[in-house]
Amino acid sequence: MSTDGQSTGWSGGKNAFGDFAPGMVHYTDRVLFDEVWEREGLSKRDRSLITVAALTAMGKMEQLQFHLGYARQNGVTDEELTEALLHLAFYAGWPNGMGATAVLKNIVEQAD
């Protein structure tokens, strides 16, 4: 976050909602991504793996679509994501693991 309170660059909320939901835009762009994701306590790569695990466990495939791609941008390899999702299937439920793996497969195939 800049010193004048303006977003330092993340605009995913603004891109998704424009002026429709200003509160959601603010908390997504300025708080979640400009503040929480930029904290020094964890790397973005680690934050991505944690987020992928949480979304998989909750069965949130729509949000997982973005976060699997974001994890790849943050340095998590496709092999690591595949292995993480297999591991999660045993703890988060097989349907959630299968669903998340299908989302990852689509992302990887679209990137090729």
Range of the domain at 93: 44-111
Whether residues 82 and 107 share a domain: the answer is yes
Whether residues 64 and 102 share a domain: the answer is yes
Question: pLDDT tens per residue, the chain (112 residues)?
Answer: 343 344 457 788 899 898 999 999 999 999 999 999 999 999 999 999 999 999 999 999 999 999 999 999 999 999 999 999 999 999 999 999 999 999 999 999 999 8
Give the 3-state secondary structure of 22-50: HHHHHHHHHHHHHHHCCCCCCCHHHHHHH
CATH of the domain at 52: 1.20.1290.10
Whether residues 34 and 57 share a domain: the answer is no
The pTM of the whole model exceeds 0.85: yes
Whether residues 19 and 69 share a domain: the answer is no
> Residue 2 has which token pair?
């800049």
Q: Into how many domains does the chain fold?
A: 2
Whether residues 49 and 103 share a domain: the answer is yes
Whether residues 93 and 60 share a domain: the answer is yes
